[in-house]
Structure 1
Amino acid sequence: MTGTPFSVTTRTTGAGSVVTVAGELDVATAPRLRAGVEGLTLGAGQVLVLDLGGVTFCDSSGISALIAAHNVAEAAGAGVALAAVPDRLGRTFGLIGLGDFFPTYPNAEDALRD
């Protein structure tokens, strides 16, 4: 299967970190997301924003990596938010009971402002 190459990029702001994920988030790539998030320095009161606008596919391993990111942020006393969640992934969250687990925003800037 060909498509968008998987990537995880991070930028740090005064409000926290934005992790932008692109491509297929699956069993082969989820460990890269986990490693990227675990390497972040988050402070109490900051927010970890996971920008998913470029995600073309997400399996259960990817969802597990997102939950792990939530746990990393929570352990640091930081919040977590999802930005630009693709419709298909948003529906999946609703179906598996995670619809209200992550605050979601149309883009990373809105998530950082809130």
Structure 2
Amino acid sequence: MGPGQDLVIDLSGLEYCDSTGITALLAACQRAQAADADMTLAAVPANTLHILTVVGLDQVFTIQPGSSTA
């Protein structure tokens, strides 16, 4: 991963995400930022999006509504 690249994480198959999963997403985001790359979460399930919104992480992550294959 390097400058100008975009890491897209497709969460369409995600059934459950707890604090450990959110921590992993934050770590991936920090690594992307350190590499001067962008990170996008795609197809975030409604329950996970709700959690991200409640804790304010919808302002940290770039969120794309559809799947990364669309």
Amino acid at match of 1:52: L
TM-score of the superposed pair, with normalisation by structure 2 = 0.92
Equivalence for 2:46 = 87
The runs of at least 4 consecutive aligned structure 1 residues that moved more than 2 Å come to none
Amino acid at match of 2:27: A
Aligned-pair Cα RMSD in Å: 1.1
Q: Distance in 2 between matches of 1:71 and 1:99?
A: 15
Q: Distance in 1 between matches of 2:12 and 2:45?
A: 6
Equivalence for 2:67 = 107
- Using CA pairs under 8 Å that are at least 6 residues apart, name the structure with larger relative contact order, 1 or 2: 2
Q: Distance in 2 between matches of 1:69 and 1:108?
A: 17
Higher alpha-carbon Rg: 1
For this pair of structures, how many residues does the alignment match?
69
Structure 1 portions without partners, runs of 5+: 1-41
TM-score of the superposed pair, with normalisation by structure 1 = 0.58
Task: Return the structure number with greater strand share.
Answer: 1
Equivalence for 2:29 = 70
- Aligned pairs for 1:1-114 (under 5 A) are 42-105=1-64, 106-109=66-69
Amino acid at match of 1:77: D
Amino acid at match of 2:47: R
